[in-house]
Amino acid sequence: MDNISPTPMLRQYHELKQQHPGTLLFFRLGDFYEMFYQDAITGARELEITLTARNKEKGNAVPMCGVPHHAAAGYIARLVRKGYRVAICEQTEEAGKTKKLVRREVVRVITPGTAIDPQLLESREPVYLAAVCGSGSRYGAAFLEVSTGEFRVTQAEGNDAWARVVSDIESYAPKELLFPEAFAPLVQTAFAGPVRAALLPGAGDAQAEAEHLPSDDRFTLTPVDDWQWQLADCTSLLKEQLRVQTLAGYALEDKPEAVRAAGACLRYARDTQRAAAEHIADLTYFTAHDCLVLDAITLRNLELLESSAGDGRTRSLLGVLDSTATGMGARMLRTWLSRPAIRRGEIEARLASVAFLCAQVTRDRLHALLKEVADLERLIGRLHLGTASPRDVVALARSMKQAPLIRGLLADAEPSLLQILCENISELPELLGLIDRAIADSPPLNFGDGDVIRDGYNAELDDLRAVSRNAKQTIAGIEERERARTGITTMRVKYNNVFGYFIEVSKAAASRVPDDYERRQTLTNAERYTTPELKEWERKVLGADERIKELEIALFAEVRTAIVAETKSLQATAKAFAMLDALASLAETAVRRRYVQPVLHDGDEIEIKGGRHPLIESFIDVPFIPNDVYLNNSTDRLLIITGPNMGGKSSLLRQTAIIQILAQMGSFVPATAARLPLLDRIWTRVGASDDVSRGRSTFMVEMTEAAAILRNATPRSLILLDEVGRGTATFDGLSLAWAIAEFLHDSPGHAAKTLFATHYHELTELAERLPGAQNYQVTATERDGEVVFLHRLERGRASKSYGIEVARLAGLPPEVLTRAREVLRRLERYELDVFADEMPATVSESAEGGLGVAAKKAARRQLAAQVTLFEAVNQSLFDELRTVETDELSPDDALRLVREMKSRMI
């Protein structure tokens, strides 16, 4: 507050600000939204607009900045995308109708997780609001897409409950995460960053508000008062929203933490929207067993949704698959990809539909029809939340007019899924007839611009429009009649803001004014009058525009009510359109990229013939080299893959997992043939990255991910391990890699199918002692001193890694490469027998156990070589020096010997 008493307007601002802490308050003043105090400083900085001040002349300047109300949406979008919460304060009464301060109220709070306006949304991506709560060994999480009404909830129990819930949150990637205030330390630890004080209810000091930025790069963290998480209140709120007497039908009867999370999430959405949000009419309880689990690490490593190179979705698998015509179809496709199905019947139903839609004419015609369909899911949400425009209603009508055409196109479709989707599409002819009669073909965006309701729909509105549109003709008619009646040919009918409409007569003609003229104003050279007819007409004209606006709003509300009454049918239709769009997109990709239909079975074999990496083949200019892959849970459950750098080991691992994911989402796959089982989870440990914010090194991240795999993988999982153990000392890394591979092979509960790519050639010894381990190599050859990568997977072990050749391709200086080759030749020539009988204590028992005597010696020599290579070369020089008879050397011979040995030293 100011040291000097603030004005009534600023007092009103402070009251509203106190009611909405942790927000930037957009305070409506006339044609602008203004921000004051710290909000103004923050807003000016983030929006790059001018910061000014109010009351400068009074010595208590108040920082101030503003944006025009008609352009506010763009500015708000910029703030929300940066993680801010914006409270919209509107004038709720007209300034001219009161002598007191105009009443203002916050009509909406826009947050990153509750955005519904098109300017704030990416049409092809969901925007989830998440909530998490719990304690001890039981936690619940809820995920709400406010713009569409999608509402999902889960609960995890056990020692790893919190880790599982965190994994769900990272998988859904919400824009905003709600949690009880007491949860702040736990959330801070899990999501790496301090919870800003400005987000806490009641935080209103300037410094806290200045630090309002979100505490996690991925989503905004928002603490919520503890009272909003009470189980009884949350239960009542959910029952009211879902219009049920019990939550048992939603599998929530014994899920208290799930109920608390869902209730808090719903309350926050309703509070920010200032609406009942009746389009949120269903709630789905899910568990990890409901889909093929792909955690955030796997989504990132396989580049399923976004490219690791920073190209967004363009160079991701989703970008390759997505040729959808609608935003809701794109979101459906994204959901299928990030959470593939696990029920064989569901998957095969999608595959059969994709096969049917591969017929060119059907697919092209369906795509053309769907291009005329708007984003019905979000449009329905805006209608319920009171933010839909007249153009939204026209778009809804246009979309629904495609329903009979789409049903007719697919009337003879054989796949059962397509038949079910057609049955779920409603045509709603009565509703469409109402919209056609009531709403103009091309209405304006805002009601204030008029002409929203079609002419002929409402008699009163037509009369008012006639008055408003014919004002000039009416004025001319009154003027002409009065001139004829009075004989005063110089009189004029005029208008101004003070007196409204009046008849102006010159002083010379004032004596001829009729008795029914009423004087309004006397001027130097003229008199101004009004008449009963003019006053009546003035009343009609001046009130017509206001009444037109009121009447159009009321009539539009009636149409809106009629649409909302059909919410269930509209949502079912929208979902059917979305699924058809996603299926057609998969069919388009299959035809364009030569994918084949996979065969699913109930066994454990992964058998891929001619498999290709869908991302790599989409963005390279040369033909992709396909490969076969075979795994099972017995003879081929651990594939040790060696080969050169740049040979394609990592690509092979990824393409195997991607083919499995594509199949379980219901897509054709990039291969010549594929027989695939149903997996429960895909785990990946590939790439190298540290986690600075949590103080974890690259190797610590690697081992943490490996630990999660070893503890949680099942025989129905697929594991990709790429260069495990390379982030630490050679002995440590090899020992860990060896032990991890053995564990994955031997552990009854965790013996998953595993692809293990490595440069530790010692690991190929595992295939000689483990019945389920097999050696494979990605081949390369040398031609004229140049390495040629063949990119073919063959049985056997690789002999070398060609690291120096890869370094040459990367552009290392020639002198470095020359020296590296020289060192390598010397290392390869030198016999390390001196180390053959010394097994370092750091090598684990698992790394040595089970090997034959000869293999043990070989492993010891190789292990010793990797750690003591440089010492070994220098030791060879010492050995040679011991044999030299120094007494017989001439000075020149001694000098030459020293020079030679010096050149050979490393």
Q: How confident is the model at residue 1 (pLDDT cuts 50, 70, 90)?
A: very low
pLDDT in tens, 183-204: 888 888 888 644 433 333 333 3
Residue-wise pLDDT for 446-475, tens only, equals 776 778 999 999 999 998 888 777 776 787
The predicted pLDDT at position 780 comes to 78
Tokens 């105009």: give the residue: 102
Residue that is written with structure tokens 């490469």 in the block: 817
Distance CA 905, CA 328 (A): 67
Q: What is the mean pLDDT of residues 26-37?
A: 92
Three-state secondary structure readout of 496-547: ECCCEEEEEEEHHHHHHCCCCCEEEEECCCEEEEECHHHHHHHHHHHHHHHH
**Tokens for 224?**
């919520």
Q: Taking 80 as the threshold, does the pLDDT of residue 872 lie above it?
A: no
Over residues 427-455, mean pLDDT: 91
Residues 390-394: what's their mean pLDDT? Answer: 95
pLDDT value, residue 832: 39
Q: Compute the distance between CA of residue 601 and CA of residue 675 in angstroms, rounded to an integer.
A: 7
CA 528 to chain CA centroid, nearest Å: 66
Instruction: Kindly report, residue by residue over 879-904, the tens digit of the pLDDT.
Output: 677 677 777 778 888 888 887 777 76
Sign of CA dihedral 405, 410, 412, 416: negative
Q: Which residue has the higher pLDDT, 833 or 345?
A: 345
| CA proximity to 655, closest of 595, 565, 727 | 595
Cα(899)–Cα(902) distance, integer angstroms: 5
Asked if residue 241 has pLDDT above 70, the reply is yes
Average pLDDT over residues 523-531: 92
Predicted confidence (pLDDT) per residue in 566-597, tens digit:
999 999 999 999 999 999 999 999 999 999 99
Strand 284-285 vs strand 220-224: parallel, antiparallel, or unpaired? unpaired
Instruction: Give residue-wise pLDDT tens across range 51-63.
Output: 998 876 666 789 9
For residues 530 and 502, is the Cβ–Cβ distance under 8 A? yes
Confidence (pLDDT) at 354: 98
Per-residue confidence band for 833, with pLDDT thresholds at 50, 70 and 90? very low
Q: Which amino acid is at 592?
A: R
> Measured between alpha carbons, how far is 130 from 113 in angstroms, rounded to an integer?
8
Between the alpha carbon of residue 148 and those of residues 317, 348, 835, the distances in Å are: 25, 27, 68
Q: pLDDT tens digits, residue range 646-678?
A: 778 999 999 999 999 999 999 999 999 999 999
CA distance 291 to 678: 10
- Quickly count helices (H) and strands (E) in the chain: 31, 26
Percent of residues, the chain, with pLDDT higher than 70: 87
The length of the chain in residues reads 906
CA distance 378 to 387: 11
Q: Quickly count: other Cβ atoms within 10 Å of residue 731's Cβ.
A: 19
Q: Binning pLDDT at 50, 70 and 90, where does residue 445 land?
A: confident
Higher-pLDDT residue of 599, 83 = 599
Per-residue confidence band for 100, with pLDDT thresholds at 50, 70 and 90? confident
How far is 174 from 182, CA to CA, in rounded Å? 21
Read off the tokens for 810: 């990367």
Q: Rounded CA gap, 194 and 189, in Å?
A: 9
Dist CA 84 CA 199 (whole Å): 9
Q: What does the DSSP 8-state code read for residue 754?
A: E
Distance between CA 652 and CA 686 in Å, rounded?
12
Closest CA to 133 of 111, 162, 113: 162
Closest CA to 106 of 16, 239, 214: 16
Short-list 138, 159, 135, 187, CA closest to 712: 159
Per cent of the chain over pLDDT 90 is 58
The region that residue 428 occupies, defined by phi over 0 for left and psi between -120 and 50 for alpha, beta otherwise, is left
CB 648 within 8 A of CB 806: no
Average model confidence (pLDDT) for the chain? 86
Residue 283 to residues 150, 270, 424, 627, Cα–Cα distance (Å): 8, 16, 19, 44
* Phi, psi (degrees; rounded to nearest 5) at 678: -100, 115
Is residue 109 within 8 Å of 85, Cβ to Cβ?
A: yes
Q: How buried is 642 (Cβ within 10 angstroms: 0-12 exposed, 13-18 middle, 19+ buried)?
A: buried
Beta strand extents in 686-742 (DSSP E only): 717-722
Q: What is the pLDDT of residues 346-356, one digit of tens each?
A: 999 999 999 99
- DSSP for residue 22: T
Nearest to residue 643, comparing CAs of 758, 731, 551?
758
Q: How is 836-879 classified by DSSP, letter by letter?
A: TT---TTS-HHHHTT--HHHHHHHHHHHHHHHHHHHHHHHHHHH
Residue 421 pLDDT > 90, yes or no? yes
Q: Of 550-554, 584-588, 748-752, which range is least confident?
A: 748-752
Q: What pLDDT does residue 830 have?
A: 56
Rounded mean pLDDT, 75-99: 83
Q: What is the value of pTM for the model shown?
A: 0.83
372: left (phi over 0), alpha (psi -120 to 50) or beta: alpha
Amino acid 832 reads L
- Which tens digit of pLDDT belongs to each residue from 765-812? 999 999 999 999 998 777 766 777 778 899 988 877 777 777 887 788
Q: What is residue 841's predicted lDDT score, i.e. its pLDDT? A: 41
Confidence of residue 838 (pLDDT cuts 50, 70, 90): very low
Angstrom CA distances, 817 to 149, 431, 813, 869, 871, stand at 60, 76, 7, 18, 21
Question: For residue 595, what pLDDT is reported?
Answer: 98
Instruction: Read off the pLDDT of residues 499-509 as tens digits, 9 standing for 90 and up.
Output: 788 999 999 99
- Return d(Cα 48, Cα 74) in angstroms, integer: 13
> For residues 110 and 22, is the Cβ–Cβ distance under 8 A?
no
**Mean pLDDT, range 705-726, rounded to an integer:** 91
Report the pLDDT averaged over residues 178-187: 90
pLDDT in tens, 245-276: 999 999 999 999 999 999 999 999 999 999 88
pLDDT at 760: 86
Residue 348 contacts by C-beta under 8 Å, 6 or more apart in sequence? 600
Q: How far is CA 661 from CA 244, 291, 406, 733, 855, in A?
A: 37, 11, 29, 30, 39
Residue 558 pLDDT class (50, 70, 90 cuts): very high
pLDDT score of 573: 98
- The whole-number average pLDDT for the span 420-426 is 97
Q: How remote is the C-alpha of 272 from its chain's centroid?
A: 21
Weakest-pLDDT range from 41-45, 73-77, 493-497, 634-638: 493-497
- The closest of 634, 636, 635, 686 to 657, measured between CA atoms, is 686
pLDDT digits (tens, 9 = 90+) for 118-132: 888 889 999 999 999
| 3-state SS, one letter per residue, for 456-487 | CCCHHHHHHHHHHHCHHHHHHHHHHHHHHHHC
Tokens found for residue 494 = 């005029």
Choice between 1 and 544, residue whose per-residue pLDDT is larger: 544
CB atoms within 10 A of CB 542: 15
Q: Is 108 helix (H, G, I), strand (E, B) or coil?
A: strand
Main-chain dihedrals φ then ψ at residue 726, nearest 5 degrees: -80, -5
Q: Binning pLDDT at 50, 70 and 90, where does residue 729 land?
A: confident
Q: Name 836's Cβ contacts closer than 8 Å, sequence gap at least 6.
A: 857, 860, 861, 864
User: Beta strand pairing status for 753-757 and 599-600?
Assistant: unpaired
pLDDT value at position 864? 46
Is the pLDDT confidence value at 299 over 90? yes
The burial of 264, by beta-carbon neighbours within 10 Å (0-12 exposed, 13-18 middle, 19 or more buried), is given as buried
> Lowest mean pLDDT: which of 92-106, 123-137, 482-496, 673-687?
92-106
Which CB contacts under 8 angstroms, 24+ apart, belong to 209-214?
A: 209/22, 209/38, 209/39, 209/42, 210/38, 210/41, 210/42, 212/22, 212/24, 212/42, 212/83, 212/84, 212/85, 213/82, 213/83, 213/84, 214/82, 214/83, 214/112
Instruction: Over range 743-751, report the average pLDDT.
Output: 89
